[in-house]
Amino acid sequence: MRMVGREETLREAAGALTAHRSVLLHGPPGIGKSTLADALADRARADGVHVLRAAPAAVESDLPYLVLIDLFAESVAAARALPTHLREALDVALLRTRGAGAGPDELTVRIAVLEHLRRLAAENPVLLVIDDAQWVDGASADVLAFAARRIGGLPVSILVTERVEDAEPTARALCHDPLAIALEPLDRTAITELLSAETAAHTAQRVYAASGGNPMYAIELARALGRGPAPAEHEPLPVPDRLRDLLARRLDGLGDDTRRALVYAALVSRPTLGLLIRAEALPADGLHAAETARIITATDDGDIAFLHPLLRELVTSDAGCASRRAAHAELAAVVDDPVERARHRALGNPAADADIAALAETAATEAAGRGAPGTAVGLARLSARRTPPENTAAIAARLLTAAGYAQDAGRVPEARELAEAALAAGGAPVTRVRARLLVVDLAWHELGEASGQLARAATEAGADTALQARVGLYEASLAYFERRNTDAARHAHRAEGLAREAGEKALLVEALGVRATIAAPDAPDGETADALHEAAYRMAQGLPVTTAAIDARQMWAMTALFRGDLATARDEIARLEHDVRSRGLIADLMGVLISTTSVNVRAGDGAAALRAGDECERLFLDAAPTPCVGLVVGASAEWCAGTPRRAVERAANAVAVCERLGDDEWLEPALAIHGQALLMTGDAAAAVAAFDRAAELEEAGAARDPAIIPWHADHIEALVATGDLDAAAERLDDLAERVELFGRPVIAVQVERVRALLTAARGDGVEAMNTLRAAIETHGPRAYPLEAARAELTLGRIARRARRRSVARAAFATAVTAFAAVGADAHLAIARDELDRLDHQRADGGDGLAEADRRLVAMVRAGATNREIGAALFLSVKAVEARLSRLYRRFGVRNRAELLHKLAE
């Protein structure tokens, strides 16, 4: 099994083992103990550790010394150096020779194993791995416990895994005073990553819920699903034999009345004893037998919960279709919730029935209104299935409604399948047009498919003004995406006119938003992007939380951000995110998180930006037709609050995926963020190449507002760093002109920062320093906090090169404080390095190194490994790596060879 989601645990356990402390991993079967132990053993071998491993089984637990035989089979040759009496006792215990009498003396065997370990450790560090310690035979356990208590001070570690479910681990004696780690269930993201890439996001969610986060359960469930058609949402998952063997024995011996009660409890979302009483399904013992068998728990208030979610699947699967239908029919008469009642009525009657179909449709609307679009999908599907077959128009409309709920829930493949089913069912023109537009939404990256669907939708819209307007908005967006800006403007203007004629407020809000997206910077008053976004926002007030209203509110928050009104941007985006989350609108949340990340990056909350960016990336990977947007957003958050190395990696991945999928719209910001990350690591030449490509794409498009993604100043900085001052000056003039044209004073400090860099590069460092100090005073209070801090960092660098040490130190100290305040960890490390470098310059020997760093560099120069350096300087390998990484950043290099070359200069 592949290891995912255990990176922090791996680091923690590896650190303990490196320090020669023992580790005990415990948890239920399938939780990943052996997988993690394998990873730790592989890491130890790579570090030159002698790994000895045993993995006993239940059927072998009565065989004496079997674990010792497994552990020491490969090292028995080294035991020949033991004193004769110890070697002979060990040989007998390991079945290498036949002993005389009753068997080896137990104390002699214990001392022999201890002495053998000491001799092995004198040559290399030793790691004993005992996987599934619950099956260790008693004789081996006694010997290992004896040795574990006496290996203190030796480079010997013991790694033990133990299967434990509802009790404390018992194998601590095998690894004296261990770091005990209870392996917790994996989260949804990790389970999704563990499953095959072909597993649909919705299926992965069902598997995650049923597995309870147990990776082995998840893999087995996914394999079982792959062997046949996917079950409907109301049907149980198939439980494969391997998992059935682990759980089914809990059901053995239960009476029919208890099994019937468990089926009823499994079929409702919130089972209670009271519900079972009303359904006349509570057994005489009040489910005591089921509690004793560790299937369910029941509280004093009567709430029932299955101890593992897979038991619920097993109970319903074993019941059979007929029993489940009968239970649904009886439950429909006793449940209180109208949504539950409608679901049970529909599932209890498999025949077409117009009344039941209408009831399920109403319940779907109710569920969606409660913020449960996933539940609404299943109810809308049931509504379509129960609709009499001659009513094709209603079937098509209900399938389309289900598709819309699936899109809201982020279940893209299912949404597309339902939209195409709605088209196949026939239906009214309005249904067909809306279904085609939904297919376009879900297949936006497939331009041929989108164009064809829009052409057919335009024909089917006929004389319906509202439908024509809606199709026109899609045509405008497609033209904009394809960089046909004139066509985009024409379609958008026509669509706005049609929306006004139709008198649909939500449609007009959407039209104003599309027009704002493609508005020219020199548009007359009232026609600028900012003015159109404001008009859409004002008009959206009071509208339901639909996609049109969400887009208008989101773009108003971004407009405030571009204007430098950070308070409005933060408040608006926070309220919008709350409204979207509370309604379970996953598809809309994905878009809102793009803005949440950007607002937090610029407004000064790096930790929140990283959380939002990571969530946005996960959602786009799980639920979008393509992941490009999420990858770009995640990389931008990493550039602010993560690490420079990870920012480069994530941005490079975003670039590669955008290129592979032909997404030029998001390739531009991907390249820009890649350039920013490369510049942060000191690779200015590679940064210029990335920025140049981003600039080419930007010039081919319509968006020229420098505040949308403010990367242009970094392009100029990279050009200055590579010595291309003429190109830098040209781009600086262009940036300053655009800041003025769009009215973006929030970007002014970035303009002045790179203007100072250019002035300093031309030889006037003092003038650059003084000009930038004045600019920070003037523009800093109106700038994004992150950019104000970066201006201070640049001031410090210019002042240091101009030999104005006090100015440099004050600027670096201010930058450190500012980066820490906004959570910009990636930038904070660089600022701290600059301050440390400045403070050490007078105290060192002229090479810019403190004494501790000079000793480390001397060992690097001598060819020592990180482990050897750590041993000599009393540091962990991780600490050595961290110090080297810090030196690389400080001197603008990427590896040991470049560091030594730089210092030699």
| DSSP per residue, 149-175 | TT-TTSSEEEEEEEE-SSS--SGGGGS
Task: Give 231's DSSP letter.
Answer: P
As a whole number of angstroms, the distance between CA 321 and CA 340 comes to 19
Helix (H) or strand (E) holding 582: helix 566-582
As a whole number of angstroms, the distance between CA 178 and CA 161 comes to 11
Q: Which residues contact 505 (CB under 8 A, 6 or more apart)?
A: 539, 543
Residue 440 tokens, joined: 């376009």
* Residue 838 pLDDT exceeds 70: yes
* Residue 803 pLDDT exceeds 90: no
* Residue 31 pLDDT exceeds 90: yes
What secondary structure does DSSP assign to 406-444, as a single string? Answer: HHHTT-HHHHHHHHHHHHHT---HHHHHHHHHHHHHHTT
pLDDT score for 841? 59
* Residue 99 pLDDT exceeds 70: no
Confidence of residue 702 (pLDDT cuts 50, 70, 90): low
Write down all domains in the chain, each with its CATH number in brackets.
7-184 (3.40.50.300), 841-904 (1.10.10.10)
8 Å CB contact between 356 and 345: yes
Confidence of residue 839 (pLDDT cuts 50, 70, 90): confident
Q: Which residues contact 165 (CB under 8 A, 6 or more apart)?
A: 28, 29
* Residue 201 pLDDT exceeds 90: no
The strand pairing partners of 297, in sequence order, are 305
As a whole number of angstroms, the distance between CA 530 and CA 510 comes to 15
65-76: average pLDDT:
81
The strand pairing partners of 54, in sequence order, are 130
Confidence of residue 198 (pLDDT cuts 50, 70, 90): low
The strand pairing partners of 182, in sequence order, are 26
Burial of 512 (0-12, 13-18, 19+ CB in 10 A): buried
As a whole number of angstroms, the distance between CA 17 and CA 611 comes to 31
* Residue 856 pLDDT exceeds 80: yes
Q: Which residues contact 833 (CB under 8 A, 6 or more apart)?
A: 886, 889, 890
Confidence of residue 470 (pLDDT cuts 50, 70, 90): very high
pLDDT score for 358? 95
Report the C-alpha dihedral over residues 227, 229, 233, 239, rounded to 10 degrees. Answer: -20
574-591: average pLDDT:
92
* Residue 661 pLDDT exceeds 90: no
8 Å CB contact between 85 and 161: no
Question: Which range has the worst mean pLDDT, 29-43, 75-89, 343-357?
Answer: 75-89
Q: Which residues contact 612 (CB under 8 A, 6 or more apart)?
A: 593, 596, 597, 600, 637
pLDDT score for 412? 83
* Residue 843 pLDDT exceeds 60: no
Cα of first residue to Cα of last residue in the chain, in angstroms, is 50
Question: Which range has the worst mean pLDDT, 276-285, 524-533, 626-635, 841-850?
Answer: 841-850
- Residue position matching structure tokens 């109810």: 379
653 phi/psi in degrees, rounded to 5: -65, -40
pLDDT score for 5? 84
8 Å CB contact between 435 and 412: no
* Residue 622 pLDDT exceeds 80: no
Average pLDDT, the chain: 89
Query: What digits encode the pLDDT tens for the residues 779-795?
Result: 999 999 999 999 999 99
568-574: average pLDDT:
96
pLDDT score for 848? 63
Question: Which range has the worst mean pLDDT, 383-387, 496-500, 675-679, 862-866?
Answer: 862-866
- Residue position matching structure tokens 């390095």: 833
8 Å CB contact between 147 and 113: yes
Amino acid at 663: D
Q: Which residues contact 884 (CB under 8 A, 6 or more apart)?
A: 856, 860, 866, 896, 899
Residue 661 tokens, joined: 């999928």
pLDDT score for 110? 86
* Residue 523 pLDDT exceeds 90: no
Confidence of residue 597 (pLDDT cuts 50, 70, 90): very high
> pTM of the prediction?
0.68
- Residue position matching structure tokens 């080297």: 884
Alpha carbons within 13 angstroms on the beta-carbon side of residue 341 total: 10
Query: What digits encode the pLDDT tens for the residues 750-771?
Result: 999 999 999 999 999 999 999 9
Confidence of residue 586 (pLDDT cuts 50, 70, 90): confident
Confidence of residue 712 (pLDDT cuts 50, 70, 90): very high
8 Å CB contact between 311 and 265: no
Amino acid at 635: A
Confidence of residue 625 (pLDDT cuts 50, 70, 90): confident
pLDDT score for 233? 78
As a whole number of angstroms, the distance between CA 854 and CA 500 comes to 73
**Bigger pLDDT: 315 vs 231:** 315
* Residue 703 pLDDT exceeds 90: no
8 Å CB contact between 354 and 245: no
43-70: average pLDDT:
88
666-673: average pLDDT:
96
* Residue 295 pLDDT exceeds 60: yes
- Residue position matching structure tokens 């004073």: 745
Strands lying side by side in the sheet with 23-27: 50-54, 126-130, 156-163, 23-27, 179-182
